[in-house]
A and B are shown apart, each in its own frame.
Chain A
Amino acid sequence: MNLTPVDWLLMAVYFAFVLGIGVVLKRYVKNSSDFFQAGRSLPAWICGLAFLSANLGAQEVIGMAASGAKYGIATSHFYWIGAIPAMVFVGVFMMPFYYGSRARSVPEYLRLRFDEKTRGVNAISFAVMTVFSSGISMYAMAKLIQTMRLLDGPFAKLGVSAAWTFHVSIAVSALIVLGYILLGGLTSAIYNEVLQFFLIVAGFLPLVFLGLKNVGGWNGLKHQLPSAFTHSWQGMSNAHTNPLGVDAFGLVMGLGFVLSFGYWCTDFLVIQRAMAADSMSAARRTPLIAALPKMVFPLLVILPGMIAIALPNPAATAINPSTGQKLVSNPGGKGLIPAKVDETTGAPILDSSGKPILDYDLAIPNMLLHYFPTGILGLGMTALLASFMSGMAGNVTAFNSVWTYDIYQSYINPNASDAHYLWMGRVATVFGIALSVIAAYAASRFNNIMDFLQLVFAFVNAPLFATFLLGMFCKRTTGHGAFFGLVSGTAGAAIHQGLTLPQGAAVGIKGGWLGAVHTYPSEMAQNFWTAIWAWSACFVVTIVISLCTRAREEMELVGLVYSLTERPSQEDVAWYMRPAVLGAIVIGIALLLNLIFW
């Protein structure tokens, strides 16, 4: 693909603003609170958009469109079931403890509520996870730039070999993210996330408009796709009759409760944005404000995927990303989605039943190439790159806080000056990004290691919400209970995964390594049930051990546990800005959306 000067100009303008914001903000960073917590001074709407945007990494934009092409509108469950209820819950019920306890991070809350070992296990696993997530984001971006041959044109002019694309993409993205975080800290990351939010909307809205116009609107799309693709709940009563291969109970409990609450209510990456708000009321509104655009995001990211698969095959103007040429026919592919091609033979890769495997991740890039002429194409590509960078930056800011407060200050150097911790935060930013670069290269060399690590993270994360739920809403829960509950939950997840297998998968990383006693209809179903088992194990073990160990004095738990904390007053803001009211509105709209796309 060849971008023209106007496309490059748009991209350059964006990068200039990204770094410019960092430069302007630099003079406001005076102490560690400014750097790590944005001085707790931002209004709710900014934190809300950053809360949403920090999660809008590569997985979101590329992955949700891919999933839209693969499963259709059922992908919206990841939003309306798998995000909205948890976002409302964290805003209305949990934020008073995070924000009110004056903890500077989620692990620090665990230290205040439970004990050092519970904080330690959470802080260390979280720090490792953020580094790898940011590395995977970086890898995915460099890989995409390589696949689309974005840099071939300019490289040819400069006389540089196209083989350098991957390295240059990694280096440039790492340096830009490093630059603006070093300069402005969390404020800079949050401001850029807000910028990225608007950019993603500006880049994808015309894409959805053109695509829908082309296929004859939502009704036209319905005609060209199987009916399960345009009805989100069709066939959900049985795992074998819907495209996801998941039953409704597994979906609601596994995704809607365990995984979604585990992520939105406990992951410091998003919670950090809310903790940067200027008041308790703004902190509580942050996830609720984020939920409003979150609900309509399926239109922006899932619809393009569905349109890409619905277009006639071969679509006359589709571009083959591997050659940059117009695709006259799309052998083995469907609509704009090409088949995965064996790099040595050039033939489509087939699955076990002889059908070509489709490369769904190319749904968004191909849609951009299909509908956008040069000019707005530059805007679309910039929006795509922005989504990758916001994912990286979010992880890096979460990493430098947890490293500095929860690992360095707690275990390595507890009594240093504030200026020293500010310096440490900047150093942590540098080595956090350096580690991400290493992770990105590891991902490009050893695919299996990445799959394995993501599996381990899933085991560690699944039980977390049980710990927070019991910690915040039951004063009897003890530190020993929380710690051993977490460990049992992780073990429970591993055992469940080891005993089950998705249909058609081989024993190994997909499960069954303890002997498969149960087969799930899909990998997604297995993941949801692994989470349910992990959560239940953690919940039960935490309660049992808490009852056997001595509870902490109630005096020490004021501000940390629901029954011992005064409800924050909602009287100082207009009625429509009160968390409970806003939460009810959000839930109402989410229900309505489910009914519309039933």
Chain B
Amino acid sequence: MGLDIRTPIGLMFSVFGVILTIYGLLSNPAIYGRSLGINVNLVWGLALLVFGITMLLLGMRRGRLVKK
């Protein structure tokens, strides 16, 4: 199949990660009372960003192998 699924997955989760991380940095800390004082937007945003970039790299690596 021409489209490696890891590319859209990686892209989408990177976008999610960036949005949540930025929002986590800018948001009022008072909203984190319900999440037990943890800034879940920041923490989970970073985690999703790492996952997204990993998927993108895996997709790109296969792309290069196929070209060779």
Q: Do A and B come from one complex?
A: yes
Chain A residues whose C-beta falls within 8 Å of the C-beta of B9 in the assembled complex: 194-195, 198
Q: Given the known A-B contacts A198-B13, A317-B34, are A21 and B8 also in contact in the complex, defined by CB atoms under 8 Å?
A: yes
Give chain B residues whose Cβ lies under 8 Å from the Cβ of A379.
16, 20, 44
Q: Is the interface of A mostly helix, strand, loop or mixed?
A: helix
Q: Does B40 contact A (CB under 8 A)?
A: yes
- Is there contact, CB below 8 Å, between B36 and A202? no
Give A194's nearest chain B residue, CB to CB.
B5
- The answer for the CA separation of A25 and B24 in the assembled complex, in Å, is 34
Contact with B along A372-398 (1 / 0, CB 8 A): 111110010000000000000000000
Measured between alpha carbons, how far is A375 from B32 in the docked complex, in Å?
A: 11
B1 lies within 8 A of A42 (CB): yes
Q: Which residue of the partner chain B has the closest CB to A45?
A: B5
A39 at the interface (CB under 8 A from B): yes
The smallest C-beta distance from B60 to any residue of chain A, in angstroms, reads 16
Q: Does any Cβ of A come within 8 Å of B66's Cβ?
A: no
- Known A372-B34, A372-B40, A373-B34; contact A202-B48, beta-carbon cutoff 8 A: yes
The answer, yes or no, to whether A224 is at the interface (CB within 8 Å) is no
Give B41's nearest chain A residue, CB to CB.
Answer: A375
Chain B residue nearest in CB terms to A278: B1
Supposing A210-B35, A210-B36 touch, asked if A376 and B5 sit within 8 A by C-beta, the answer is: no
A255 to B30, CA, bound (A): 47
A202-230 interface code vs B (CB 8 A; 1 in, 0 out): 10001000100110000000000000000
Cβ distance A1 to chain B, nearest Cβ, rounded Å: 13
Residues 3-36 of A, flagged 1 when their CB comes within 8 A of B and 0 if not, give 0001001100110010011001101100000000
Nearest Cβ distance between residue A389 and chain B, in whole angstroms? Answer: 15
Q: Does A370 contact B (CB under 8 A)?
A: yes
A371 contacts the other chain (CB 8 A): yes
By a CB distance below 8 angstroms, the chain A residues around B44 are: 202, 206, 376, 379
User: What residues of A have a CB within 8 angstroms of the CB of B1 in the complex?
Assistant: 25, 28, 38-39, 41-42, 187
B41 / chain A contacts, CB cutoff of 8 Å: 373, 375-376
Q: How far is the CA of A202 from the CA of B27 in the complex (A)?
A: 21
Q: B23: which of A6, A202, A213 is its contact (CB, 8 Å)?
A: A6
- Give residues 20-60 of B contacting A (CB, 8 Å): 20, 23-24, 27, 31-36, 38, 40-41, 44, 48, 51
A456-484 vs B, Cβ < 8 Å mask (1 yes, 0 no):
00000000000000000000000000000
Question: Within the complex, what minimum Cβ distance (angstroms) separates A208 from chain B?
Answer: 12
Kindly list chain A residues whose C-beta atoms are within 8 Å of the C-beta of B51: 198, 202
Q: Indicate if the CB atoms of A375 and B20 lie closer than 8 Å.
A: yes
B20 and A21 within 8 A (CB) = no
A85 to B51, CA, bound (A): 31
Number of contacting residues on B, CB 8 A? 28
Flag whether A258 is at the interface (Cβ < 8 A): no
Q: Which residues of A contact B35 (CB under 8 A)?
A: 210, 371-373, 376
Q: Known contacts being A14-B12, A21-B8, A198-B9, is A375 close to B24, with CB within 8 Å?
A: yes
Q: Which residues of A contact B15 (CB under 8 A)?
A: 13
Closest residue of chain A to B43, judged by CB? A206
Which of B8, B20, B27 is most buried by chain A, counting CB atoms within 10 A of its CB?
B8
CB distance from A559 to the nearest CB of B (A): 27
Nearest A residue (CB) for B3:
A24
Partner of A191, one of B5, B24, B32, B38: B5
- What residues of B have a CB within 8 angstroms of the CB of A194 in the complex? 5, 9
Contact B40 A213 (CB under 8 A): no
Cβ contact of A373, chosen from B5, B8, B19, B40, cutoff 8 A: B40
Q: Are B36 and A13 in contact (CB under 8 A)?
A: no
Chain A positions within 8 Å of B27 at CB level: 373-375
Chain B CB within 8 A of A46 CB: yes
Kindly provide the distance from the CB of B12 to the nearest chain A CB, expressed in whole angstroms: 5
Residue of A nearest to B48 (CB): A202
Mask: chain A, 37-61; 1 = CB below 8 Å from B; 0 = not: 0110110001000000000000000
Q: What is the chain A residue whose CB lies nearest that of B12?
A: A17
A195-B3 contact given A373-B32, A373-B35, A373-B41, CB 8 Å threshold:
no
Give chain B residues whose Cβ lies under 8 Å from the Cβ of A195. 5, 8-9, 12
Whether the Cβ atoms of B2 and A214 lie closer than 8 Å is: no
Query: Can you list 27 contacts pairing A with B, beta carbon distance less than 8 Å?
Result: A6-B23, A9-B19, A13-B15, A14-B12, A24-B3, A24-B8, A25-B1, A46-B5, A191-B3, A191-B8, A194-B5, A202-B16, A202-B44, A202-B48, A210-B35, A317-B34, A370-B34, A371-B36, A373-B27, A373-B34, A373-B41, A374-B27, A374-B31, A375-B24, A375-B40, A376-B20, A379-B20
- Which B residues are within 8 Å of any A CB, using their own CB? 1-3, 5, 8-9, 11-13, 15-16, 19-20, 23-24, 27, 31-36, 38, 40-41, 44, 48, 51
- With A41-B1, A373-B32 given, can you name 20 additional A-B contacts, CB distance below 8 Å? A6-B19, A10-B16, A13-B12, A13-B19, A21-B8, A24-B8, A191-B3, A210-B40, A317-B33, A370-B34, A371-B35, A373-B27, A373-B31, A373-B35, A375-B23, A375-B40, A375-B41, A376-B40, A376-B41, A376-B44
